[in-house]
Amino acid sequence: MAYDQSKNFRSQNDLGLSGKADKNQKRAINKDGTFNVRRYQTADHFYHRLLTMSWTRFFLLMLSLFLIVNCMYATIYILIGIDKLGGVENLDIVQDFLSAFFFSAQTMTTVGYGAMHPVGVAASTMAAIESLTGLLGFAIATGLMYGRFTRPSAGIRFTEKAIIAPYKEGLKSFQFRLANERNNHVFEPEVLVIYTSLIKRDDGKIIRNFLPMKLELSTIYFLSMNWTIAHPINEESPLFGKTKKDLLEEDAEILVLLKLFNDAFAQTVYTRTSFKATEIDWDVKYVLPYNIDENGNTHFYLEKLDETISA
């Protein structure tokens, strides 16, 4: 007898992802763990955006601000008069602007080579203001760099695909693997797996159902190599009696929430991912990603985490 989803078509705990659904709706959680929701009219804290944006965008933003601010001060020095910058030859507008720009950069960074210097009250006042701007700006940039480097992250790598593999007593199981991709240590990882699917109610409305998937082990103490999470497909499983076609028709998505203690940050951190029906391989099994040499040493290969063979 297949698992009866109709008796629990709307779970009490819908994970905060809403039970309302549409056939054209994309996955709830992206592979990188981000939620597939576009939010509007929310409080957009600029400091939070600076901490969470990619490193490429962050460095490009810092470089752009540095160039813009120095161009602004260079323009002010030109308006004051290029003759108010000692050591600068008044040649043409391009050379004058470049000289003013480099003087501004030296002043802002407090390098002060001495080849150029302000002359008069107006230029000296602007140089003093720019020095203060530079000190404050670099203090903020340093704080942002520190915040980005120390922001806790799990550093966990999941397999790109899950599998349906042979299990004990002639049963099959839903499996996926994960491993710590860094050289630090993590402890007590605990995983929660939820099966979601589209079902049609008696009134014709399509909603998304959330059902917990009972695991062989939901927590371990150490994660020195890989961890294979296995969900036995028995009569209590929401996958019982289902085929690959059934999962595709239900727009099935299996959500994964992982909690662990990261000793590098000395904090408990969370990470997420999900597997769509198209990201599940059937009748295969994982290849061991480690071996033991003649001296008894264990060698773990992270690049083998996704390798499978026919069951």
Contacts (Cβ under 8 Å, ≥6 apart) of 129? none
pLDDT at 287: 93
pLDDT at 8: 43
Asked if 171 and 146 sit in the same domain, the reply is no
Model pTM score: 0.74
Distance CA 201, CA 197 (A): 13
- pLDDT bracket for residue 153 (50, 70, 90): confident
Asked if 229 and 250 sit in the same domain, the reply is yes
pLDDT at 17: 67
Asked if 57 and 103 sit in the same domain, the reply is yes
CA distances from 58 to 36, 47, 145, 251 (A): 23, 12, 10, 37
pLDDT at 42: 66
- Give the single-character DSSP code of 222: B
Number of Cβ within 10 Å of residue 226's Cβ equals: 20
Answer for the pair 165, 286: CB distance below 8 angstroms, yes or no. Answer: yes
209 strand-pairing partners: 197
Number of Cα atoms under 13 Å in the Cβ half of residue 31: 9
Domain that holds residue 180: 154-310
Answer for the pair 270, 261: CB distance below 8 angstroms, yes or no. Answer: no
pLDDT digits (tens, 9 = 90+) for 168-214: 888 999 999 999 998 888 999 999 999 998 877 777 777 888 899 99
Total domains in the chain come to 2
Asked if 140 and 277 sit in the same domain, the reply is no
79 pLDDT more than 80: yes
Kindly state the tokens that stand for 300: 């773990």
CATH number at residue 292: 2.60.40.1400
pLDDT digits (tens, 9 = 90+) for 98-144: 999 999 999 999 887 888 889 999 999 999 999 999 999 999 999 99
Kindly state the tokens that stand for 138: 């670099």
- Of the chain, the percentage scoring pLDDT greater than 90 comes to 60
41 pLDDT more than 50: yes
φ, ψ for residue 64, nearest 5 deg: -65, -45
Contacts (Cβ under 8 Å, ≥6 apart) of 98? none
Average pLDDT, rounded, for the chain: 87
2 pLDDT more than 60: no
Distance CA 136, CA 205 (A): 57
40 pLDDT more than 60: yes
273 pLDDT more than 80: yes
